[in-house]
Structure 1
Amino acid sequence: MSEGAAYATGLPAVIRGEEAFLAARRERRVQALLGLVVLIACLATAGWVSEVHPATLWAGLPRIGEYFARILPDLRWDALLANAETEGSLAFWMYRLPEWAWLILETANMAALATLMGSVFALVFAFPAARNVAPSGLVYHATRRFLEALRTVPEIVYALIFVWAFGIGPLAGILAIALHSAGANGKLFAEAIENADLRPWEAVRAAGGSWAMGCRYAILPQVLPNILSYVLLRFEVNIRSASVIGFVGAGGVGEELYKVISFNYYEEISAIVLLIILTVSCVDLLSERLRHAAIGRLEAAR
Structure 2
Amino acid sequence: MAAGAAPLRMEAAFRAARRQRRAATLLGLAVLLACLLASAWVAEAHPARLLEGLPRIGEYFHRILPTLRREALFAGAETEGSLAFWFYRLDSWAWLLFETANMAALATLMGAAAALALCFVAARNAGAPRPLALATRRLLEALRTVPEIVFALILVWAFGVGPLAGILAIALHSTGALGKLFAEAVENAGAGPWEAVRAAGGGWAEACRFGLLPQVLPNLLSYALLRFEINLRAASVIGFVGAGGIGEELYTVIAFNHYEEISAIVLLIILCVAAIDLLSERLRHHVIGAAR
| Coarse TM-score class (shorter-chain normalised) | over 0.9
Give yes or no for the alignment of 1:67 onto 2:60. yes
- Matching residue of 1:23: 16
For residues 128 and 276 of structure 1, the distance between their equivalents in structure 2, rounded to whole angstroms, comes to 37
Task: Report deviation, 1:60.
Answer: 0.4
Amino acid at match of 2:14: F
- Matching residue of 1:37: 30
- Matching residue of 1:262: 255
For residues 123 and 60 of structure 1, the distance between their equivalents in structure 2, rounded to whole angstroms, comes to 46
Task: Report deviation, 1:137.
Answer: 2.0
The 3-state SS of whatever aligns with 1:239 is helix
Give yes or no for the alignment of 1:203 onto 2:196. yes
- Matching residue of 1:115: 108
Larger Rg: 1
Give yes or no for the alignment of 1:125 onto 2:135. no
| Mapping of residues 95-244 of structure 1, within 5 Å | 95-244=88-237
Task: Report deviation, 1:132.
Answer: 1.3
The 3-state SS of whatever aligns with 2:78 is coil
The RMSD of aligned alpha carbons is 0.8
Normalising by structure 1, report the TM-score: 0.95
- Matching residue of 1:5: none
- Matching residue of 1:86: 79
Task: Report deviation, 1:181.
Answer: 0.3
Amino acid at match of 1:190: A
Please give the per-residue CA displacement for 1:197-235, whole angstroms capped at 9, x wherever unaligned: 111111111221111111111111111111000000000
The 3-state SS of whatever aligns with 2:88 is coil
For residues 255 and 18 of structure 2, the distance between their equivalents in structure 1, rounded to whole angstroms, comes to 58
The 3-state SS of whatever aligns with 1:127 is helix
Give yes or no for the alignment of 1:287 onto 2:287. no
Amino acid at match of 2:280: S
Please give the per-residue CA displacement for 1:101-152, whole angstroms capped at 9, x wherever unaligned: 0000000000000000000000111111111114122122111100001111
- Matching residue of 1:247: 240
For residues 18 and 76 of structure 2, the distance between their equivalents in structure 1, rounded to whole angstroms, comes to 71
Higher alpha-carbon deviation: 80-89 or 199-208: 199-208
Normalising by structure 2, report the TM-score: 0.98
Task: Report deviation, 1:196.
Answer: 0.7
Stretches of structure 2 lacking an aligned partner (at least 5 in a row): none
The 3-state SS of whatever aligns with 1:51 is coil
Runs of 4+ more than 6 Å apart: none
Please give the per-residue CA displacement for 1:151-178, whole angstroms capped at 9, x wherever unaligned: 1111111111111111111000000000
Identity %: 71
The 3-state SS of whatever aligns with 2:126 is coil
The 3-state SS of whatever aligns with 1:128 is helix
The 3-state SS of whatever aligns with 1:86 is coil
Task: Report deviation, 1:52.
Answer: 1.4
Amino acid at match of 2:42: V
Amino acid at match of 1:47: A
Higher alpha-carbon deviation: 198-207 or 34-43: 198-207
